[in-house]
Structure 1
Amino acid sequence: MPKLWNETIDAHREQVREAIVNVTSTLVFEQGLRAVTMSQIAEHAGIGRATLYKYFPDVETILRTWHARQIDSHISELTQVRAGAGSPGERLDAVLASYAHIAHQTGSHDRELVKFLHPDERIVNAQNQLREIVRQLIEEGATAGELRDDVDPAELANYCLHALSGAAELTTAEAIARLVALTAAGLRPPQS
C-alpha cells in the first residue's frame, strides 16, 4: 500500500477515535455515567456498533481515554505556564492560578464520574508531575529570596495543591482569585 494511503487511513481512524471520545464525554456529562450505552455512543458518533467495538470494548475504556487526554492537556498547560516569563514567584503565582481554574473546572463534573476516574494511575503520575513543578518553582523562589525558605519546598507544594483543590467547590472567579491569593501569600517570607 502506498504511504499516502496509509497516512489517510490512519488519519481517518484517529478522527473516528476522537469523535467517539468526544461524543462519549458529552453524553456522560449530559446523562450521567451509568446512563450511557455503547449503542447511544455509536448512534451519536454516526458509526455502527460493530465499528465502535473495533475501537473500544466499553464505555469505561472510552472515558479513561478521554480522561488521559484531559490530564495530558492540563499538565502541558501548567508546564507552559511554568516556563513563562517573570520571576520564580510570578511564575509560581501563574501556575497556582491555572491549577485553581483546572480544579474548579474538574469540580463541576459529575461526582460519580470523578470517583470512577480518579483511582487511575495517570492521576497519580500527573499529581506527582504537578507537585514537582510547584516544588521546583518554590525552591527557585526561595533561592531568589522571593519565597519562604523556612519550610521544605515539597511540603509547601503539597500545602498549595491541597489548598487549591478547594477551588472545585467555589462558584465565582472572584472566590477562586481570593483562594489563589491566600495560598500565594502563605508562600512569601514571614515578616520580621
Structure 2
Amino acid sequence: MSAHRTAVREAILDATVSLAAEHGVLSVNMSDVAASAGVSRATLYKYFPDVQSILQAEHHRQMAGELEQLHSVKAAGGDPRRQLEQVLCIHAMMVHRHHDSAIAAVLQQSGALQHKEQFLEVILRKAADDGTIRTDIAPAELTRFCLHALAAAAQAGSEAEVDRLVRLTLDALEASAPR
C-alpha cells in the first residue's frame, strides 16, 4: 500500500509541475491536477488541501535531492577546493534549471535559501582555513557573493554558460585573487 501511495503522490507532484510549466502557476487548479494525475478530486484532496501545498511538497522533493547531493559532497571530505567547486556547481545548476518554475516562488518563501547560505558558509570557512581561498574577506561575505553571483545562472542560455559562471566565481575566491 505504501508504494501505491508514494506513486500517487509522485504523479500528483509531476502533474502539478507540468501544468504550472505549461499554463503558469496561477492557472493551476485542483480539478486540472486531478485529471492530469489520473486521480479523482476526492483522492487528490486526501493528499493535498490546495495547489500551494502541492507546490510546497514539490519544493521539498527538489530540495531533498539537492541537499542529499550537497551533504554527500561534504561527507566525502577531501580537497576543500574540489568540495567548494562541487557545491557551487550543484547550486548553480539548480538555479539554472528551476529559476522560472513554480518551485522558485516557493523557494523564495521558505527557509531553504538560509539553509543553503549556512551550508555554503561552512564549506567556505573550511576552504579558508585550508588556505584554498582568500581570507581577506569573511566567509559570510563570500557566501553572499557566491549566491548572488550564481543567481546569474537563472539567465544562462546553457549548462556550459553555468559552468563558466561557476569557474568565474571560483576564480574570484582564489587565495591569490587580486586585492
Q: Deviations over 1:36-84 (max 9, x none)?
A: 2222221222221122122222222211111121122212222222333
Aligned residue pairs, count: 178
What is the TM-score of this pair, normalised by structure 2?
0.88
Query: Alpha-carbon deviation of 1:191?
Result: 5.6
Following TM superposition, by how much is the alpha carbon of 1:103 offset from its aligned partner in structure 2, in angstroms?
0.8
CA drift at 1:85: 5.3
Is 2:101 the counterpart of 1:109? yes
Q: Aligned to 1:151, which of 132, 137, 143?
A: 137
Aligned to 2:80: 88
Find the aligned partners of 1:119 and 1:153 in 2 and give their Cα distance: 23
Q: Residue 45 in 1 paired to residue 31 in 2?
A: no
1:60 alignment partner, SS class = helix
Q: Given the superposition, is the C-alpha separation of residues 174 and 51 from structure 1 closer, same or farther in structure 2, using an over 3 Å criterion?
A: closer
**Contact 1:82-1:94 at 8 Å conserved across structures:** no
Following superposition, the deviation at residue 100 of structure 1 comes to 0.9
TM-score when scaled to structure 1?
0.83
CA RMSD of aligned residues (A): 2.0
Residue aligning to 1:5: none
Q: Structure 2 CA distance, aligned partners of 1:191 and 1:176?
A: 21
Uncovered stretches (5+) of structure 1, i.e. residues with no partner: 1-7
Identity level (%): 37
Distance 1:58 1:144 in 2: 48
Unmatched segments (≥5 aa) in structure 2: none
Find the structure with the greater CA-based Rg: 1
Indicate conservation of the 8 Å contact 2:171/2:177, yes or no: no
C-alpha displacement at 1:135, in angstroms? Answer: 1.5
